[in-house]
Amino acid sequence: MMNVNYKKLQRCLLGVVAVLFCCSCHTEPKKYIEVTGIAQGTYYRVLYQDTKMRKTEFDSILQNFDTTFSIYINESIISKINNNDSTVRTNQQFRYFFEQSQRISKLTDGMFDITVGPLVNAWRFGPDTTHHKLPNKQQIDSILQFVGMDKIKLEGDKCIKTDPRVQITGNANAQGYSSDIIAHHLDSLGVENYLVDVGSEMRVKGVNTKGKKWIIGITRPEEGIDNLPVALQSDIAVILDNKSLATSGNYRKFFYNDGKKYSHTVNPHTGESYPSDLLSVTVIADECIDADAIATACMAMGVEQSKLFFVNHPQYDAVMFYAQADSLVFYKTNGIVLREK
């Protein structure tokens, strides 16, 4: 779905990669069901405590999600908006996605922006790979004319653009939102314990199969290494208590041109592509759509601005890895609870 299929597959390697279960418990494990499948160009996995297999329900939820957010489906709502179809009407899912995107954009001083797609594509990180030259300043300035959350709004069930060239992409938070939607479905069924994982965008509730809080392994980024450590070799593991988690990174998706390094992180204000000093960030929030969007914004903000963001917004927590001289530095906010060795 969207250029998510590249971005999220990358995340599967660099970010949250596995669920680690506690190894001791005094009671017999409760019965859990695991459902897996393919969606949005990546995998999904749902582990939940129940008595019935409902794979078709999860498949249907994700397929319906694509009819709203996939740029690869011409008849999806987001495609029709991007193609300036005057007949398109938004649905509840799209409106919630848009409203939350606006909120996070304001929260991050515009560093999160769902209209940034044309800039990402200009820097050769989008789905359009037909062009090979990097944009010059004049071209960037031209694109910036139709980038910005102030250039698009909702009026009732219609999406209004100030410029027909404005394009919307959900590659930075829609996948996290899909984890939320599956979680809401499980809530509606009365499921008390579950883990939802769509391309490493996770949401958990209750306890795992051992009756303990869910534990998520986070891999240490190492620039230039093709094969990252697998689940049980993760350097740290965080304990999640009815929370969501998403990871974004900058150390794998980049290229060099004339000796200069370019990253898939694009600053929505300047239109420039640059490698952030922040190699990866894992954000923990109540809603996965928030965690996904804030993780993306942090990559554009960099280390110091990201640290300040979490000081000013303590409802969110984060684990960050960043480069400092020749060292890899680990940083966590106060709310992060690590699994004891």
Per residue in 180-230, pLDDT (tens digit) is: 999 999 999 899 999 999 999 999 999 999 999 999 998 777 654 333 333
- CATH among 3.90.1150.10, 3.40.50.300, 3.40.50.720, 3.10.520.10 for 4-332: 3.10.520.10
Residue 201's nearest CA partner among 307, 282, 111, 298 is 282
Q: Is the Cβ–Cβ distance between 90 and 245 less than 8 Å?
A: no
Domain boundaries, the chain: 4-332
User: Between these two residues, 23 and 177, which has the higher pLDDT value?
Assistant: 177
pLDDT of 20 higher than 60? no
Between 328 and 129, whose confidence is greater? 328
DSSP lists the bridge partners of residue 298 as none
Pairing of strands 152-155, 42-49: unpaired
Q: How far apart are CA 11 and CA 34, in angstroms?
A: 22
Q: Which candidate, 103, 151, 124, 123, places its Cα nearest to that of 270? A: 123
Facing residues of 322 across strands? Answer: 278, 329
What phi, psi does 94 have (nearest 5°)? -65, -40
Confidence check: pLDDT of 255 > 60 = no
What pTM did the predictor assign?
0.84
